[in-house]
Homo-oligomer: A and B are copies of this chain.
Amino acid sequence: MSLPNQYLISAPGKVILFGEHAVVYGKTAIAGSLDGLRTYALFEKRLDGYFELNFPDLGLRRALSWPKTNLPYHLIKHTDSEQQKDFMFNENLLQALKPIVNEGNMDDENQLDKFQQAAALAFLYLVTNIKNKQISWDGMTIQISSSLPIGAGLGSSASYSVCLATGLLLAFGHISLPDESNQLSTLNSAELINQWAFQAEKVIQGNPSGIDNAVATFGGAVSYKKGSRHTNLKGFHSFRFLIINTKEPRDAKTQIEKVRVKREKYPQIINHILDAIDRISLSFIELQSSGVSQEEMFKKLEELIDLNHYLVNSLGVSHPSLEKIREITSEHNLHSKLTGAGGGGCALTLVPDDMPPEDVQLVKEKLERNEFECYETPVGGHGIATMYATTVINSLEFLDMNKNKLREIAEWKYFV
């Protein structure tokens, strides 16, 4: 399938289902993809040698653009056996790009903030580093629209990184748009997307675990553990969730430091708690292959959510807003836990498949009256990974489209 002049890529956000904090100490964690909270990227061919990035959700009031001739291609040595070498992080390239990011983009007084700078750097890092194996595109414009809250621990940067990697690998001739005849090669494509997205994540996050990009690429749910490769949980059904943003400022580093101090003070207590959390993740994994009914799975998921919430809280990373969410949702017999680093951030609430929309609406309204932001979305399930569409879109209208409706504008196909 030959490459059209315009295509749309989308990747989901992620939510940590189980194991936050414990994962820092080598325990197993589980993350699931957020089908309903996604980043959308419209890639368009250019012939003028410019790379343009338009991402108003980051507060950028106009597109950033860079001429190809400014990029430090001399710092890249492509070898024949690319794979090995390309995935060594190129720190020199990153440093060389830092001054270039601002060039020509700073004629108003606004400096790029840290999110804008990181997004631009990740884009330029991939643009420069991925070998251009075809010459039909000489430059491109990317427009980004995301329904994910930025910096709320829902994997917004990874879903952006996966969109970048997918779109660029397509444009530069490393992968092709999949159709039914090449399923095996699309799995390889997905692996390649995941690896390049991980590079972009390194630019943005410094020291990412790799889990967010894996979830955004492969969808479903994955288990992961420090020092070993993530595992896709094949049997994971999609469940209905509310993702609730407390909008409390979130600082993962502070929360992780809190747990470290507590563990130093009470090593034996905390180690047992971390082991218990590990066992929650492992119980969840076992559950996937246990063949129990969806109903029983749901029931156990509720129990594991409660267990995990209390255990993470015992590590001292709760917040009154998270307890408030648990209180409100439990009034409707729904089970919630904090997700991510805690101390604010987000909570997730499991919603029964047969809960009537009006009842869900009631819960959402109660939460919103408490100044929380709610998103209803399936978590996990098949076919919600990186996807693409070649529907022709008026590129002047793309960024004005309703984010929650973006999914409906095209007939999507999946890489995985």
Contacts and interface: CB of A to CB of B under 8 A. Distances in A.
A327 B320 contact: yes
Interface size for chain A: under 10, 10 to 19, 20 to 34, or 35 or more residues?
Answer: 20 to 34
Given A306-B314, A307-B266, A276 B272 contact: yes
A316 to B, nearest CB: 7
B327 A323 contact: yes
5 contacts: A269-B280, A270-B276, A306-B314, A311-B311, A320-B330
A98 interface: no
Interface in A184-207: none
A181 interface: no
Interface string A296-333: 00000001001100110110100010010001001000
Given A269-B280, A272-B272, A306 B316 contact: yes
B311 A273 contact: yes
A330 B272 CA distance: 26
A183 interface: no
Question: How many copies of this chain?
Answer: 2
Contacts of A306: 314, 316
Contacts of A323: 323, 327
A81 interface: no
Contacts of A92: none
A354 B282 CA distance: 46
Nearest to A276: B272
Contacts of A275: 272
A279 B303 contact: no
Interface of A: 262, 265-266, 268-270, 272-273, 275-276, 279-280, 282-283, 303, 306-307, 310-311, 313-314, 316, 320, 323, 327, 330
Among all A-B residue pairs, the 6 with the closest Cβ atoms:
A310-B314, A272-B276, A269-B279, A268-B279, A272-B275, A310-B313
Contacts of A307: 266, 269, 314
Q: Which of A279, A311, A314 is most buried by chain B, counting CB atoms within 10 A of its CB? A: A314
Given A307-B314, A320-B327, A323-B327, A276 B269 contact: yes
Contact of A310 (B270, B311, B327): B311
Contacts of A262: 303
Nearest to A265: B303
Contacts of A327: 320, 323
A280 B272 CA distance: 11
A31 B268 CA distance: 21
Contact of A269 (B270, B283, B316): B283
Contacts of A276: 269-270, 272-273, 276, 314
A375 to B, nearest CB: 25
Contact of A283 (B266, B283, B310, B314): B266
A35 B183 CA distance: 74
A309 to B, nearest CB: 8
Contacts of A313: 310
A313 B310 CA distance: 7
A270 B270 CA distance: 14
Contacts of A273: 272-273, 276, 311
A373 B306 CA distance: 28
A202 to B, nearest CB: 34
A287 to B, nearest CB: 11
Contacts of A266: 279-280, 283, 303, 307
